[in-house]
Amino acid sequence: MSARVAIYPGSFDPPTNGHLDIVERSARLFDRVVIGVGRNLTKKTVFDADERVALMRDACKRWPNVEVRSFDGLQVDFAKECGARFIIRGIRALSDFEFEFEMGNMNRRLAPDIEMVYLMTAPEFLFLSASRVKELVAFGAPVDSYVPPNVAKALKAHAGKGKGAFRTGATESND
């Protein structure tokens, strides 16, 4: 029987405890999980791809069957490159479902042999998103309970770079 390999793609800017909950559960379901940190993103990120890979790699070191790599391109192409037959996605709310439903159907058209696997977020992470974490940091609020320790440290260091370090779109005026 061949190994059950899955990818878990995302921007992970920054990695949150919600992301790690999905990683931990995926690591129990699959023989190998490859976390794909997206490089070619249309949104501006706080951390560059190499920083996000390093942050996620450090946060995931406790799971021996999890690896972290960057990718540039379509999720289905990355899955094929990794030998994966599954793409993992986390869903928090109905708004996530609508987006994931559209993406899942497109992925099915592009690669019918790759299955989408949706994991419902744990209740304690329903409100948590990377965008919310960046907003909190922009306003000087503590985020230690929402992100792994290595990420909290990196966020504090990045926040020390001055005004505009966390321009998220949700925290700035339209001028």
Q: What digits encode the pLDDT tens for the residues 21-70?
A: 999 999 999 999 999 999 976 778 899 999 999 999 999 999 999 999 99
What pLDDT is stored for residue 165 in this prediction? 58
Q: Does residue 173 carry a pLDDT above 70? A: no
Distance CA 78, CA 39 (A): 12
Mean pLDDT value of segment 143-150 = 96
CA-CA distance, 76 to 73, in Å (whole number)? 9
Residues 4-33 have pLDDT tens digits of: 999 999 999 999 999 999 999 999 999 999
Quick check: 65 and 25 in contact, CB under 8 A?
Answer: no
> What kind of fold does domain 5-126 have according to CATH?
Rossmann fold (3.40.50)
For the chain, give the mean pLDDT.
90
pLDDT value of position 72: 93
Asked if the model's pLDDT at residue 163 lies above 60, the reply is no
Distance CA 132, CA 154 (A): 16
